Amino acid sequence: MAETVWAAYDLPLQVRTGSEPVDAPPTLAESDDLILLQNEAWFCTLRWLVIAALCALALAGWATTAAFPLPGIRLDPLWPPAVAAVLLFLNLTYLAMIRKATRSARRSVLAERGLWLQIGLDLAVLTVVVHFLGSLDTFAPFMYLFHIVLACIFLPYAQSLLVTLLAMGMYLICLILEGTGAVAPQSVLIGAMCGERAVSLTVAAWQFGSVAFVSATVWYLASRLSRALRQRDAELSAINRRLVAATEERAGHMLQTTHQLKAPFAAIHANTQLLLGGHCGALPAPAVAVIEQIATRCEMLSRGIKSMLQLANLRSQAQHPPAPVAVDLAALIQSCLAALKPQAAKRGIEFEEQLSPAPVQVVPDHAAMIIDNILSNAINYSRDGQRISVSSRAKADGGAAVVVRDRGIGIPPDKLPRIFDDYFRTTEAVKHNRASTGLGLAIVRQSALSGAIGVRVESAAGQGTVFFLDFPRSPDHLETTN
Amino acid sequence: MAYLLIVDDDLDFASAVSTVLSNKGYEIAIETDCAQALDRIRRQRPDAVILDVMFPENDKAGFEIARAIRREFGELPVLLLTAVNQSFPLGFSNKDLDPTWLPAVEFVEKPVDFAVLTAKISSILAAAKG
């Protein structure tokens, strides 16, 4: 005889619990501020790289001066660490400002102010670097392009133009100060045209013109491209918002429509009860049989509609989850069993109960839906005359455990991960019980996720299924034990 | 015997409930319109009101009538016929469903089990008498 294979599946549990407050999503303005602060933090990361590069330059300056002179290059080992130290101080200040702005109610103002402070001071520091590397003899002035491109990517059209003008203004000031002799021109190139010599006005004008022309061209191209991308991003965001709104509206309509479907079935159900209860006089046996069939099918449809409504409501993001309250799971299980036992008794199915008190903090209806669906499945997929075991106990850590074991048709191992999907039923399940809606375990999943309740299922085809429910300890318990 | 008012826009359903409760000996009236229901309560002062929640003109009309009854008639018992409860709110806000705020003394789920309904009616009438 082949050995029975038992397989296990743990329902993936989200971190979020049903008792946590559901935070409202940030508004557009709030999310813009947050993005701006994230970008500012990223600029700080970039600045660490610049500081590292300056330190490397200082080391190189020291090495080349001391032992390994490089032909044509004279690196001053003093200014790079001085600039790096300034940048280090500024970067730490920026990070503190970002942290403060993130927590502040005036986040928008502080974020904007911090950004322009970073831009202004960074351009000033870069101008110092350009001066020491060589404002006319080297390609250092083209480092302004890094700032211009970043501004085009992260800032609106007009603001990126302002950054470009600011960069060119600072470069012009550098050239003027050098040209007027207010500061001595510097260059890392030995024998450069302006090293230790007066700056020629014509050369300075041509150099400035070239840098300004390239900068303006890069600004124009990058800002155009960036604007097109931003426009497309805004369009996609708007489309996404409309889609979300449409989906929510459709879900709301479906919910209302499904609820309206209940009304006719409630009326049919009420009238079948009226007839079967003898309120309209005695009926012949064939008529009673027909009415019983109508009542049964009506009840099935009502059950299906109820399941759809329960699932839709559990999934509804619009509502806040109800607050958990103290519930004894043993009492809840007994209440569910009382409702289900008549149905089980018709098929000779009995329950073995080992119910110890199991106090937990849960949403009662969610816990009831989980237990009711698992017990209903145990009945539905047991064979006539079989026994179902139900146990509950409090756990030492403050939570509770519930186990429901049937000896029914079981679930093939490869189907286990899918049993919590909407409308999924194994072929064996469909053959065994046609009445099930296929939504019971989807409701279990949604309720369990809402309350962070662990669900483990072990099953062997033909041998039965065991559900282990792990109810977490309540926040109150955590507070008292801590 | 107690006089009960059924307020439900579905006349088929209300008639079935009415037949069963009449056979139990209750005196029954049916209203399918919310405004007329309040008018009838003012004129005839039933012992209890059996109230649906969703009406064609307003899907929360049952709650509104229940609150109007509490304001005007104090402790007049109201039994709501609905699948709505605290964790099953059909898009209503939790405030609408707060049982301490909503003046319904009992909820009965649709489709109605007549045994459950009659038991709950007996209990709310007994509680109202004190």
The pLDDT tens digits for B30-83 are 999 988 999 999 999 999 999 988 787 776 788 888 888 888 888 889 898 875
User: Which pLDDT score, from 0 to 100, does residue A382 have?
Assistant: 95
Q: Cα A88 to the chain's mean position, in Å?
A: 34
Record: contact B19-A318, CB cut-off 8 A: no
User: Which pLDDT score, from 0 to 100, does residue A130 have?
Assistant: 94
Q: Which of A267, A309, A316 sits opposite B13 (nearest CB)?
A: A267
Contact by Cβ (8 Å): A129, A143: yes
Separation in Å, CA of B75 to nearest CA in chain A:
27
Domain that holds residue A402: 7-16+323-481
Per-residue pLDDT tens digits for A167-197: 999 999 999 998 888 888 888 887 665 555 5
Query: Residue A89's CB: how many other CB atoms inside 10 A?
Result: 10
Range list of H helices, A185-328: 201-276, 285-315
> Quick one: A233 and A297 in the same domain?
no
> Quick one: A308 and A446 in the same domain?
no
C-alpha to C-alpha distance for A29 and A56, rounded to whole angstroms: 41
Q: Give me the residues paired with residue B29 across strands.
A: B5
Residue type, A372: D
Separation in Å, CA of B59 to nearest CA in chain A:
9
Q: Tokens standing for A442?
A: 């989807």
C-alpha to C-alpha distance for A377 and A334, rounded to whole angstroms: 16
**Three-state SS for A299?**
helix
Residues of A in contact with B19 (CB under 8 A): 274, 279-280
Interface A:B, Cβ pairs < 8 A: 82
Residues of A in contact with B89 (CB under 8 A): 313, 319
Mean pLDDT, rounded, for A200-209:
87
User: Which pLDDT score, from 0 to 100, does residue A249 have?
Assistant: 81
Contact by Cβ (8 Å): A424, A438: yes
Asked whether the bond before B111 is cis by omega within 30 degrees of 0, the reply is yes
DSSP state of A76: -
Record: contact B54-A298, CB cut-off 8 A: no
Separation in Å, CA of A54 to nearest CA in chain B:
60
Q: Does domain B3-113 have CATH number 3.40.50.2300?
A: yes
C-alpha to C-alpha distance for A115 and B80, rounded to whole angstroms: 59
Query: Searching chain B, which residue's CA lies closest to the CA of residue A368?
Result: B87
- For an interface test with B, which of A250, A256, A269 has the most B Cβ atoms less than 10 Å from its Cβ? A269
Record: contact A259-B90, CB cut-off 8 A: yes
**Three-state SS for A115?**
helix
> Quick one: A95 and A151 in the same domain?
yes
User: Which pLDDT score, from 0 to 100, does residue A117 have?
Assistant: 92
Separation in Å, CA of B91 to nearest CA in chain A:
7
Record: contact A364-B87, CB cut-off 8 A: yes
Q: Is B85 on the interface with A (CB under 8 A)?
A: yes
| Banded pLDDT at A373 (limits 50, 70, 90) | very high
| Banded pLDDT at A22 (limits 50, 70, 90) | very low
**Three-state SS for B5?**
strand
Per-residue pLDDT tens digits for B85-129: 444 444 444 455 554 455 556 778 777 888 889 999 999 899 888
Q: Which of A256, A309, A310 sits opposite B59 (nearest CB)?
A: A256
State the total domains in chain A: 3
Q: Tokens standing for A28?
A: 């557009």
Record: contact A309-B88, CB cut-off 8 A: yes
Domain assignments of chain B as residue spans, ordered by start: 3-113
ipTM: 0.77
Contact by Cβ (8 Å): A210, A246: no
**Residue in this structure with the two tokens 């307003």, named with its chain if needed:** B58
Question: Is the confidence at residue A480, as pLDDT, over 60?
Answer: no
In a domain, A250, yes or no: no
In a domain, A23, yes or no: no
End-to-end, the C-alpha distance of chain B in Å comes to: 16
Record: contact B112-A266, CB cut-off 8 A: yes
Separation in Å, CA of B111 to nearest CA in chain A:
4
Of residues A14 and B107, more confidently modeled = B107
Q: Which of A270, A298, A299 sits opposite B13 (nearest CB)?
A: A270
**Three-state SS for A272?**
helix
Q: Tokens standing for A124?
A: 């000033």
C-alpha to C-alpha distance for B102 and A47, rounded to whole angstroms: 60
- The reported pTM is 0.55
Query: Searching chain B, which residue's CA lies closest to the CA of residue A278?
Result: B20
> Quick one: A422 and A362 in the same domain?
yes
Record: contact A279-B83, CB cut-off 8 A: no
> Quick one: A411 and A468 in the same domain?
yes
Which residues have CB under 8 Å from A276's CB, separation 6+? A288, A291, A292, A295
User: Which pLDDT score, from 0 to 100, does residue B103 have?
Assistant: 52
| Banded pLDDT at A329 (limits 50, 70, 90) | very high
Per-residue pLDDT tens digits for A279-294: 888 999 999 999 998 9
Q: Is B59 on the interface with A (CB under 8 A)?
A: yes
Which residues have CB under 8 Å from B82's CB, separation 6+? B52, B53, B54, B62, B107, B108, B109, B110
- For the beta sheet containing A400-406, the strands, ordered from the edge strand earlier in sequence to the opposite edge, are A7-10, A454-460, A464-471, A400-406, A387-394, A350-355
Per-residue pLDDT tens digits for A34-73: 888 888 999 999 999 999 999 998 888 887 766 666 677 7
> Quick one: A344 and A298 in the same domain?
no
In a domain, A22, yes or no: no
A190, A212, A245 - which closes a domain: A245
Separation in Å, CA of A276 to nearest CA in chain B:
11
> Quick one: A123 and A173 in the same domain?
yes
A273, A291, A315 - which closes a domain: A315
A218, A245, A272 - which closes a domain: A245
Q: Cα B91 to the chain's mean position, in Å?
A: 20
> Quick one: A391 and A287 in the same domain?
no
Q: Which of B54, B93, B112 sits opposite A270 (nearest CB)?
A: B112
> Quick one: A389 and A453 in the same domain?
yes
The kind and range of the H/E element at A161 are: helix A157-179
Per-residue pLDDT tens digits for A238-281: 999 999 888 878 877 777 777 677 778 888 988 999 999 888 88
> Quick one: A327 and A311 in the same domain?
no
- For an interface test with B, which of A310, A313, A370 has the most B Cβ atoms less than 10 Å from its Cβ? A313
Q: Which of A444, A422, A447, A441 is nearest to A322 (CA)?
A: A447
Q: Across chain B, where does the E strand assignment appear?
A: 3-7, 27-31, 48-52, 78-81, 106-108
In a domain, A380, yes or no: yes
User: Which pLDDT score, from 0 to 100, does residue A437 have?
Assistant: 78
Q: Which of B12, B54, B88 sits opposite A313 (nearest CB)?
A: B88
> Quick one: A264 and A295 in the same domain?
yes
Residue type, B97: L
| Banded pLDDT at A76 (limits 50, 70, 90) | confident
Per-residue pLDDT tens digits for A153-165: 888 889 999 999 9
Residues of B in contact with A252 (CB under 8 A): 91
> Quick one: A332 and A202 in the same domain?
no
User: Which pLDDT score, from 0 to 100, does residue A143 have?
Assistant: 94
Separation in Å, CA of B117 to nearest CA in chain A:
11
The kind and range of the H/E element at A36 are: helix A28-66
Burial class (CB in 10 A: 0-12, 13-18, 19+), A253: exposed
- For an interface test with A, which of B13, B53, B87 has the most A Cβ atoms less than 10 Å from its Cβ? B87
